[in-house]
Structure 1
Amino acid sequence: MSGLRVLRSGPLSLLQDGGRRGWQHLGVSPGGPLDGQAAAWANRLLGNPWGTPLLEVALGDVELRAEVDTWLALTGAELPASIDGQPLPGWARFALRAGQCLRLGFARSGQRAYLAVAGGFRAAPVLGSVSTQVREGLGGLDGQGGKLVAGDLLPCAAAHFARAASVPWRYRPDYRAAPLLRVIVGGDAPAFAEEQRQAFFAQPWRLSAQSDRMGARLQGEPLRAPPRQWSLGVGRGAIQVPPDGQPIILQADHQTMGGYPLLGWLHPLDLWRLAQCPAQQALRFTPVGIGEAQAQLRQFYRFFRG
């Protein structure tokens, strides 16, 4: 099968789809794109179903040569993109002809770009998903969690659209703005002293450079967490407070069990905004009711999944 040949792979480019669901009881995290909103827009621009396999490009510096006439869509981080030296707009779909080279430079704002292809990139699923989980050695082109490397072929089919299309401006996030992230307070929150709960929301935090696809680590005035005597299942968005008092927000490749006290969960829609924050980004948090968060998430899924 023909597709896109990788000439330059960038620091970390991973094949992702909707995630590896239904395996947490066996210790397998779901994975999937860190910025689900940008990924959803990339697939929607091409008429692909929700969760169609695409490429998550961390920071940029990727070059691909087409071996087939097809159409692509690029969303997420703001980065310079060009075909044979001709600039491309972001958050749009475009044609790529056999022999042409697509070049993605380094991100100017945001951390991750999403490159989708009409019909999706083809790879054999592992446990029902092609999502790449490097730590667990699952998914990707090789089925063993390998990141993209020069020489790889991203298999895809030929495709044609009558014209280009783009995401309306009002739906494109501004990754340069300091975000205010919403938190559903719960879990072990009642066991935290009231002043400690208030301290979490009152102070500015910074995103640690030690953050990764497993968890976003915060730096600030340490919190005093209550003791925890047991471990339990955890999901994406859980805000753990370890003994050092520096919270960790679990991300897509999170562990499936955890013993640190939970202060609550980040709003699912704000998890995706967090994924685009650079190291040392200032972060502030505000409480949100679970009913409000559920209503907003239902609206999101109605739009993207129908």
Structure 2
Amino acid sequence: MSGFNVVQPGLLTLIQDAGRFGYHGIGLTTGGPLDREAFFWANRLCENALEATALEVSFGGLVLEAQVDTRIAVTGAQMPLKIAGQEAAAWETHAVKAGDKIELGFATAGSRAYLAVAGGFNVAAQFGSTATVTREGIGGLAGEKIQQGDQLLCAASGSEPRWQVPVAARPNYGKFAELRVILGYQQASFDSVQQALFFSSEYTLSDRADRMGFRLEGQPVKSTLDGILSEGICHGAIQIPADGQPIVLLNDRQTIGGYPKIGSVIARDTARLAQLMPGAKVMFTQISMEEAHNINCLETRRFMTTELVALH
């Protein structure tokens, strides 16, 4: 089986599937795509299972050389795409031939793009998943980010069919996000004044942001707790350390932690957060658990019922 040769790995390109679930008990985190919706669209364009293994390209700079005839799709952040030297559109399926170079430039809006191939990349799973978590040295190719000279294996595929995501269904990536939050964990340790400050203040995304979590800068908030026993941490949990500056925990977060947490950002919005660049602004809005369930159900239905446009 052949596939793609990595000519230039980009700033941070990782092999990801939908994530590693059920292993927090032995200290393994979830991994998986930071923007699940864009990841799912890329696989859907290639007629893959939604959880099929693809590439998460952070910030851009990736160059691959095809060694097989197949189809690819790129979704997510706006990164100039060229195939065999010709400009190509994102959010649609493209046929590539052996010898073609696939080039992704640097992001102009958003920060993470997803490159899927028909049939998915052929990578051995570890603990039920191919998701790369570099901190744990697990998943992907030897638990590392993609390197120059790596071989990304996949099966050959015909050049048809080709699809396009309707423009109305594509997200807009800007420099601001409103993040919806469910109160929880140690919410009672943040009095009404501290909660009011938190939900009325604008925060700036710092440059201390990675797949573990995004640190924000702005109005500090204080908990009455000096510390807590370490406990399990969910995706999107908002830690408030001693300096009062929120940290939103993401896919590669530690499985347990001991900072007070005012609540959790819903998964639909951590994807929006993950597409922001340092310097972007965010605000938080409180919602109920019931509202969060409704948002998730409605967005899932919208995704599943949106029809792709056939290209000829």
Relative to the length of structure 1, the TM-score reads 0.96
Q: 1:139-166 deviations in whole A, cap 9, x for unaligned? A: 1123xx1110111111001112434321
Indicate if the aligned counterparts of 2:228 and 2:260 stay in contact, CA closer than 8 A.
Answer: no
Amino acid at match of 2:279: Q
1:285 Cα offset (Å)? 1.3
1:7 paired to 2:7: yes
Partner of 1:159: 157
What are structure 2's unaligned runs of at least 5 residues?
A: 306-312
Shift of 1:263: 0.7
The answer to whether the Cα contact below 8 Å between 1:50 and 1:305 also exists between their aligned partners in 2 is no
Q: Tell which deviates more after alignment, 156-165 or 60-69.
A: 156-165
Distance 2:40 2:302 in 1: 10
Give yes or no for the alignment of 1:37 onto 2:37: yes
Q: Report the alpha carbon displacement of residue 54 of structure 1 after superposing the two structures with TM.
A: 0.3
For 1:224, give the aligned amino acid: K
Amino acid in the other structure paired with 2:270: L
Q: Distance in 1 between matches of 2:220 and 2:54?
A: 38
| Alignment length (residue pairs) | 304
Aligned to 2:133: 133
Q: Which residue of 2 aligns with 1:293?
A: 292
Determine if the alignment matches structure 1 residue 215 to structure 2 residue 213. Answer: yes
Shift of 1:47: 1.5
Deviation at 1:302, TM superposition (A): 4.8
SS at match of 2:235: coil
Match of 1:253 in 2: 252
Q: Which residue of 1 aligns with 2:61?
A: 61
Structure 1 partner of 2:243: 244
Q: Which residue of 2 aligns with 1:104?
A: 104
CA distance in 2, matches of 1:130, 1:304: 24
Deviations 1:115-162 (A, max 9, x none): 0011100111111111110000001123xx111011111100111243
Q: Which amino acid aligns with 2:236?
A: G
Contact 1:44 / 1:304 at 8 angstroms: preserved in 2? Answer: no
Matches of 2:210 and 2:300 in 1, distance apart? 26
What CA deviation, in whole Å up to 9, does each residue of 1:69-88 have, x standing for no partner?
00001000101101122111
Does residue 168 (structure 1) correspond to residue 160 (structure 2)? The answer is no
One-letter amino acid of the structure 2 residue matched with residue 21 of structure 1: F
When residues 118 and 303 of structure 1 are mapped into structure 2, their CA distance, relative to the original with a 3 A threshold, is farther
Q: Which residue in the other structure is 1:89 paired with?
A: 89
CA distance in 2, matches of 1:17, 1:305: 19
What letter is aligned with 1:129?
S
Does the CA-based 8 Å contact 1:40-1:304 persist in structure 2?
no
Deviations 1:60-114 (A, max 9, x none): 1111111000000100010110112211111111111111111110110111110
**Structure 1 residues 56, 192: CA separation in 2 closer, same or farther (over 3 Å shift)?**
same
Q: Structure 2 counterpart of 1:154, which letter? A: L
Letter matched to residue 298 of structure 2: Q
Alpha-carbon separation, structure 1, partners of 2:53 and 2:258: 33
Q: Which runs of 5 or more structure 1 residues have no equivalent in the other structure?
A: none
Report the secondary structure of 2:48's partner residue: coil
- What displacement does 1:238 show? 0.5
Report Cα offsets for 1:237-277 as digits up to 9, x if no partner.
Answer: 01111111011111000000011111111011001111100
C-alpha RMSD over aligned residues: 1.4
Offset from partner CA, 1:12-55 (integer Å, 9 cap, x none): 10000011111001111010011111001101111111211000
Q: CA deviation at 1:290?
A: 1.1
Residue identity matched to 2:212: M
- Going from structure 1 to structure 2, the CA distance change for 1:303 and 1:47 (only over 3 Å counts) comes to farther
1:121 aligns with 2:121: yes
Partner of 2:74: 74
1:282 corresponds to which letter in structure 2? K
Q: TM-score, normalised to structure 2's length?
A: 0.94
Match of 1:21, SS state, is coil
Distance between the aligned counterparts of 2:230 and 2:242, measured in 1?
Answer: 15
The answer to whether the 8 Å contact 1:17/1:51 transfers is: yes
Distance 1:287 1:125 in 2: 38
Aligned partners of 1:207, 1:225: CA distance in 2, in Å?
21
Q: Distance in 1 between matches of 2:101 and 2:24?
A: 39
Q: Is the 8 A contact 1:15 1:54 kept in 2?
A: yes
Give the distance between the partners of 1:250 and 1:98, measured in 2 at CA: 40
Match of 1:232 in 2: 231
